[in-house]
Structure 1
Amino acid sequence: MSMARKALIAVCQLSSTDDKDHNLRECRELVRQGAARGARMVFLPEAFDHISPSTEVMLRLAESLEGELVGSYRQLARESGVWLSLGGFHEQGPDWDRERRIYNTHLLLNDSGEIAGLYRKTHLFDVDIQGQVSLKESSSTIPGPRIEPPVTTPIGKIGLAICYDLRFPEISLALASAGAEILTFPSAFTLTTGMAHWEPLLRSRAIESQCYVVAAAQTGRHNDRRWSFGHTMVVDPWGCVLAQCGQGPGLCCAEIDLDYLRQVRRQMPLAQHRRHDLYGTVCIRHPPGSAPSHPPLPDAPL
C-alpha cells in the first residue's frame, strides 16, 4: 500500500434515525459523492447505522461484525474504491444471548472491503446537565478495553477514537506518541455541548498532538428526544479549520498534507520537549511546621 504525501478526504454529516435502510441509502450516496470528487478515504460519523428513540429499539437494531450492515459497507468500499471510516456502530457485545449490551465500535475498511482497524469506545458519555442534556451511555454500552495502535492507510497513520473521547487529551497524546498523524473523532455531540465546546476541543487536540483532526458529525433532529450539533470539521496540525459543514446532511472535503505535518512538528518539536519524567506526579509543598492534609501520593510509573 502506497502512502500519498497529499491526499483528499471526504467527511460526511448525517441525520440518522431508526430507519436503518434509509440511513444506509444516505451514507451510500455520500460515499459515492466523495469517491467521485477524488477522495481516497470517506469518514462517517458516530451512529451512522441508526439513532433510536429508546434503548429497547437500539438494542433490537444492533448487529455483530459479521452482520448484514458491515457486509453492506464492505461491498460499498469495494465498489467505490475508497477506504471507509465507519465512525461508531452499535455492535452486539459478548454473551449477547445472555446480556443485551453493546460496544460503540469504530471500524476502518480498506478499499478491498477488509477490516483494517477496529476500536471500541473507551470513554462513555454519562452526563446530566440539569434542564439541558441527560444521557447515560453506560446503561447499555460496554467500555472498550484499550486504545488501539494507529492504522496505516493511504492518507497517513490514523488514530481511532469516538465522540466523548475528544474531551480526554490523554488518548490523543497517546495515539500521537504511537505514530498517529490523523486523529478521528466521529461524533453525535448534543446541541448544548456542541455550541459550547465542539470547535475549541477539536482545535486543541490538533494543536497539542500536531495531528490532523477529522470529525464527522451527526446533525439536526433524530427523534423527539435527540438533536445533534453538526458542524463536521477537519483541522490541520497548526489548529486551522480546513473544512466544515454547517447544518443538514452533506459532506466537506479537505487535503491531508503529510509534508506540512512534518514541517509543523519540525519547527515546533513538542514531542522532544515533553517532560515525561514529570507528568503524573505533582509535588505538593507545605509551609514549614505544617502537616499535609492527606498522605503523600505513591510514585507514579513513568
Structure 2
Amino acid sequence: MLFPAISGGRFWFKKPTFVAAGIQLEFPDNNQARKLLQTITTIPERKRTGWLLESANVDVVVLPEYSLDGEPTESLKEWCRTNQKFLIVGGKQPLGDTNYYNTAFVISTNGEVVFRQVKSVPIQFFKDGLPAPEQKVWDSPWGKIGICICYDLSYTGVTDALVRQGSQMLIVPTMDVADWGPHQHELHARIAPVRAAEYGIPIFRVASSGISQGVDRSGGVQASAPFPGEGEAIFFGARIGEKGSVPPDRLLARLCVFITGLFVLRPFAVTLYRKKLVKA
C-alpha cells in the first residue's frame, strides 16, 4: 500500500523492500541482451520518483518470455556473478529432440540456476512448448515469489495455485509480439491490475514490446513501459509483505453453479413427479 507523508512540500513514500528492473526485448541475440543489461544495474536518477525516491539498487532484473532460444548462457551467468544481481529470463528447456518447456529461469548472484518455472498454459494453436508438470513458488531472499509466464496470468487456475502456496508477489515474463498491434497490448495490460487487486499482492510484468507494468497490491499501476517500446526499461519498487489470499468468489462461483443446476433440473423433476401421479 501507498503511505505518503508531506514534508517540506514534498511527498515521501515508504521505501520498498524489493526493487525489480526489466527490459522490453523481442527475440534478442545474446550480445544485445548483455549490452542492455549493463544499463539497468542501478536506477537512473530520472526514474527515482514515487516509491523509488530513495532507492538506487536493483535486486532482480527480469527479461521477457523467449528472450533466449535455449537455456541460460554462460555469458548471462557471468553477468550475474560480476554485477551481483539475480536475473529472471525466459527461455527454452529442451525435452527430447523435438519438444521443449517454455521456461522462466532464475539465475542467482553466484551465476547458478536456482529455480525454474515452466509455463502452465501454452497458447493454443501455437508452438509454445508443453504444459508445466508442476507449479512451485520461488523462496527468494525477499519472500515467496510466484512466477507465471504470459498467458498464465489470465487463468485463475494457475495464479490461484501460486497464491495458495504462499506467494507474496508475482513476476510475469511475457511475450506480446509487436505485430499483434496496440489493441491486443492494451487489452492484455488490463489483467495484471485485476489480479493484483484480487490477491492483494504486487505484480511485476515485463513484456517483450510492452505494455510492461509494476502494479501495487491494491491494483494501482506504479510503473509502466510503453508499446511499442523495444529496449525500454522499467523499474518497480514493491513492499513484499503478507502472502496473498484467493478471493471468496472462487467458492461462491461453485455454489452459484450448483444452485443454478438445481433450478435447471427442477422442471424435469416436477414433470416426472406429475407423470407418476397420473399413472397412480
Structure of larger gyration radius: 2
- Could you tell me how far apart the structure 2 residues matched to 1:156 and 1:254 are? 16
Aligned positions of 1:250-289 closer than 5 A: 250-258=232-240, 261-262=241-242, 274=248, 280=254, 282-283=257-258, 284-286=261-263
Pair 1:201-2:191 in alignment = yes
Deviation string for 1:60-86 (max 9, x for gaps)? xx54x4xxx432222111111111111
Structure 1 residues 163, 248: closer, same or farther in 2, change over 3 A?
A: same
Pair 1:119-2:117 in alignment = yes
Tell me the TM-score normalized by structure 2: 0.74
Pair 1:6-2:12 in alignment = no
Q: State the identity %.
A: 21
- Could you tell me how far apart the structure 2 residues matched to 1:32 and 1:203 are? 29
* Higher helix proportion: 2
Q: CA deviation at 1:25?
A: 2.1
Deviation string for 1:118-159 (max 9, x for gaps)? 111120111xxxxxxxx5235xx22221212x1122333210
Q: Residue 232 of structure 1 corresponds to which residue in structure 2?
A: 212
- Corresponding letter in the other structure for 1:14: L
Task: Output the aligned Cα RMSD.
Answer: 2.6
- Could you tell me how far apart the structure 2 residues matched to 1:178 and 1:288 are? 37
- Corresponding letter in the other structure for 1:7: F
Pair 1:165-2:152 in alignment = yes
Aligned positions of 1:91-106 closer than 5 A: 91-93=93-95, 95-96=96-97, 100-106=98-104
Structure 1 residues 183, 238: closer, same or farther in 2, change over 3 A?
A: same
Query: Do 1:172 and 1:209's aligned partners in 2 also have CA atoms closer than 8 Å?
Result: no
- 1:30 equivalent among 36, 44, 52: 36
Unaligned runs of 5+ in 2: 1-14, 44-56, 270-280
- Could you tell me how far apart the structure 1 residues matched to 2:88 and 2:41 are? 13
- Could you tell me how far apart the structure 2 residues matched to 1:277 and 1:15 are? 39
- Could you tell me how far apart the structure 2 residues matched to 1:218 and 1:287 are? 46
SS of 2:109 mapped into structure 1: coil
- 4+ long deviations beyond 4 Å: 275-281
- Could you tell me how far apart the structure 1 residues matched to 2:80 and 2:116 are? 16
- Corresponding letter in the other structure for 1:274: P
Query: Do 1:12 and 1:44's aligned partners in 2 also have CA atoms closer than 8 Å?
Result: yes
- Could you tell me how far apart the structure 2 residues matched to 1:270 and 1:77 are? 33
- Could you tell me how far apart the structure 2 residues matched to 1:143 and 1:238 are? 30
- Could you tell me how far apart the structure 2 residues matched to 1:161 and 1:16 are? 19
Q: How many residues align?
A: 234
Q: CA deviation at 1:218?
A: 0.9
Once the two structures are overlaid, the 10-residue window that deviates more, 159-168 or 30-39, is: 30-39
Q: CA deviation at 1:31?
A: 2.4
Aligned positions of 1:26-175 closer than 5 A: 26-37=32-43, 38-49=57-68, 62-63=69-70, 65=71, 69-86=72-89, 88-93=90-95, 95-96=96-97, 100-126=98-124, 135-137=125-127, 141-148=129-136, 150-175=137-162
